[in-house]
Homo-oligomer: A and B are copies of this chain.
Amino acid sequence: MLPGPKLDRIDLKILAKLQQEGRITNVELADAVGLSPSPCLTRVKRLEKAGYITGYGAHVNLNKLGEFLTVFTEVTLSEHRRGDFSRFESRIVKIDEIVECHLVSGGYDYLLKFVARGVSHYQSIIEGMLESDYGIEKYFSYVVIKSPFIKHHFPIQNLFGQTHA
């Protein structure tokens, strides 16, 4: 038994492949994982329906679109009661420019990732958050100068099997 309840080796190969080539044809995918198209498609549909695959997306090169600003922002909430977290989360998810939200352990509460037109745009979003009742005690911004790499996939092969390969 490899992973959780119902994923075999072939399922993992499918996930790994689709993670890196999301628009591969089912015919090619089937060949890559050693199945014929029919059962391969069946598995993909099953993985989608079961929630292992939550969607597909093109990787758009932001830098080619223009000069935009990416910022990682550390946020500390002023209160840490039941509800303060969910309230904060439910509000920021509506802000398009906040593309990621992580609750972390350590010196602060949330690590957010922003994508904005520039510093003034970013600043206006932050100010809006401070003025409204988001429950923010303090924040700190780390402007991204460059992203040497962003792999759009995690190492499925390393997360499994590595121990008894």
Residue numbers of A with Cβ under 8 A of B are 3-4, 7, 15, 18-23, 50-62, 64-66, 68, 70, 72, 89, 93, 96-97, 99-107, 111, 115-117, 140-160, 162-163
Contacts and interface: CB of A to CB of B under 8 A. Distances in A.
A66 to B, nearest CB: 6
Given A59-B56, A103-B147, A154-B115, A51 B64 contact: yes
Contacts of A99: 150-151, 153-155
18 contacts: A4-B66, A15-B65, A18-B60, A19-B57, A21-B56, A23-B23, A23-B56, A54-B60, A55-B58, A89-B148, A97-B155, A97-B158, A99-B155, A103-B145, A103-B146, A106-B140, A106-B141, A115-B155
